[in-house]
Amino acid sequence: MNMHRFLTTGLLLLLAGSFAVAQPRTLRLEDAISLAIDNNRDLEISRLEMDKASYQVSEAYGTALPSISAGGTYTRTLKKPVFFLPARFMDPNAGDGVIPVEIGSDNSYNFGFEASQVLFNAAVFTGVGTAKIYEDASKHMYTETYNKTVSDVKKAFYGVLLAKDVLTLMKASLQNAEDNLRNVEVMQEQGVVSEYDLIRARVQTDNIRPKVIESERNVTLATNGLKLLLGLGPAEAIEVAGELDFVPAEDVMVSRAEELVVEKNAALRALRDQGRVNEKLVTIYKSESLPTLSAFGNYRWLAENDALGRISTNDFVSTSQVGVTLSFNLFNGLQTRARVNQAEVDYMKSQEQLSATRDALLTNAQNIRYRLEEAQRRLESQNRTVEQAEKGYRIATTRYQSGSGTQLEVNDADLALLQARVNRVQAIYDYSVAKADLEYLLSMHRQ
């Protein structure tokens, strides 16, 4: 009995676990955005590029700091060098010949420190500022990628909500048609209405069912598109939570869209920084013709002996030096001139790209503002239309049940109500998407 109870309990727990696994993950808009930010590969690449730019700044600063190194050498002399002395120096009776004399020791030791410091080099000091500008540009590009990720997720999320709302409306319309069909069937059995009315009611119901199936498919497609943006696998089930509500954009954001886009757009700011980098590169290449002044110094310990392993600290002597070096690039085969020309061309290209992007953004901002205004007007109009369509459907249904209306009137009223409701939710979706586009254009999202 206990074993039977144990097996039953285990089976129930297993089934409960399987049921829990099968439950879809419920995502709000904030959850979807957070998930996309964590999984977006383009955003991770931008983040790594930003880190790289930060390291380049540190490297640029390093070129302006002192350079200190330590090193040492040990040399074993296999055959000592010689110099020659007249033979008479060794033997007054010798003739005019020479004799070789070995110099040095079998073992020599050399240890010490060397330091150098750039005192003047235009390329070094300009490079520090250039690296900092490039770092700023990489941050703007990261912000651009971040805002695009948020915007894409918002629009995909709104797309799922739209598809779900349309499906709900289609199901409601199908329910109206089925309710009407049942009433007509009863009335036809009672001889109140003709067979023609029954046929029209059935056709109306059958015509709506494919639209429900199509709407269900659209929900699946929209959800799969959202999962792709979130970095989720196709087998993972999700449920989108929320309503497609009308949330008006800030008046200042809409009225000053063209002005704000020039000021705040992250991609445009990155292009400005890139233009400044190219301008600095012209200066850097031109500075190759300027002198470089550096200071140096060293401190060394030297020792020599003939017996390996019999050296002590007392055998070492120290030497030190300090000084400055000055160098000029007099001629390098016109390479400097060629690099300057290339940098100037890159700068002009960046300015043209900046101008073209600014014009495109201004036009886009203006178009989005028109889209917002148009969608808001449509929504206001559709709110009134839905009220009238609901009233018209109630009147048509009442007239038909009382015998003073026709089935055609009911069908027309139902289609008009469905279309009005779909148009209203479509207007809300269009406004929400346009608002998301404007927020992206103005780089409104902050990481």
Burial of 346 (0-12, 13-18, 19+ CB in 10 A): middle
Determine the Cα–Cα distance for residues 435 and 439; give it in Å rounded to an integer. 6
Report the percent of the chain where pLDDT is more than 70: 94
Instruction: Quickly list DSSP for 425-441.
Output: HHHHHHHHHHHHHHHHH
pLDDT band at 311 (very low <50, low <70, confident <90, very high): confident
Question: pTM for this one?
Answer: 0.77
More confident residue, 96 or 152: 152
**Mean local confidence (pLDDT), 237-266:** 91
Query: What sign does the dihedral 74-80-86-89 (CA atoms) show?
Result: positive
Tokens of 36: 């996309």
* Helical segments of 40-121, H only: 41-63
Section 252-269 average pLDDT: 91
- Inter-residue contact 316 to 303 (CB < 8 Å): yes
Looking at residue 119, what is its pLDDT? 87
Q: SS3 helix, strand, coil % of the chain, rounded to 5? A: 70, 15, 15
Q: What is the pLDDT of residues 280-296, one digit of tens each?
A: 888 888 888 888 899 99
Q: Compute the C-alpha angle 237/239/240, nearest 5°.
A: 140
Q: What are phi and psi of 247, to 5 degrees?
A: -120, 105
Question: What is the pLDDT at residue 18?
Answer: 47
Contact 385, 392 (CB under 8 A): no
CATH of the domain spanning 25-65+121-291+331-441, picked from 3.90.800.10, 1.20.1600.10, 3.90.198.10, 3.20.20.70: 1.20.1600.10
Range in 261-270, 303-312, 316-325 the model is least confident about: 303-312
Pairing of strands 317-327, 107-120: unpaired
Instruction: Say whether pLDDT at 12 is over 60.
Output: no
Residue corresponding to tokens 């008046």: 251
For range 319-339, the mean pLDDT: 87
Q: What is the DSSP string of 289-324?
A: GS-EEEEEEEEEEEEEESSTT---GGG-EEEEEEEE
Q: What average pLDDT does range 357-365 have in this prediction?
A: 95
Residue 395: per-residue pLDDT: 93
pLDDT at 5: 56
- State the Cα–Cα distance between residues 249 and 202, nearest whole angstrom: 45
Tokens, residue 168: 């709900």
Of residues 397 and 93, which shows the higher confidence score?
Answer: 397
Query: Is the pLDDT at 57 greater than 80, yes or no?
Result: yes
Backbone angles phi, psi at 70, to 5 degrees: -130, 145
User: How many Cα atoms occupy the beta-carbon half-sphere of 199 within 13 Å?
Assistant: 3
**DSSP code of 24?**
P
Q: Which pLDDT score is estimated for 166?
A: 94
Confidence of residue 439 (pLDDT cuts 50, 70, 90): very high
**Chain-centre distance for alpha carbon 429:** 25
> Which residue, 126, 58, 133, 62, is CA-closest to 284?
126
Distance (Å, whole) CA 6 – CA 309 = 81
pLDDT value for 1: 44
* pLDDT tier, 129 (very low <50, low <70, confident <90, very high otherwise): confident
216: pLDDT strictly greater than 90: yes
Residues with Cβ < 8 Å from 291, sequence gap 6 or more? 120, 326, 327, 328
Is the pLDDT confidence value at 96 over 90?
no
In 190-250, which ranges are continuous DSSP H helix? 195-230
Mean pLDDT of 345-353: 93
Predicted pLDDT of residue 17: 52
How much is the pLDDT for 20? Answer: 45
Residue carrying structure tokens 């109630």: 394
b/e map 76-100, b = 16+ CB within 10 Å: eeeeeeeeeeeeeeeeeeeeeeeee
What pLDDT score does 97 carry?
Answer: 79
Beta-bridged to residue 102, according to DSSP, are 82
List all residues 6 or more positions away from 162 whose beta carbon is below 8 Å from its beta carbon. 222, 244, 425, 426, 429
Sequence-ordered list of residues with C-beta below 8 angstroms from that of 165, at least 6 positions apart, any chain: 244, 425
- Say if residue 21's pLDDT is above 70: no
The C-alpha atoms of residue 399 and residue 102 are separated, in whole angstroms, by 131
Q: Which residues contact 402 (CB under 8 A, 6 or more apart)?
A: none
Measured CA angle at 313 (ends 311, 314), to 5 deg: 90
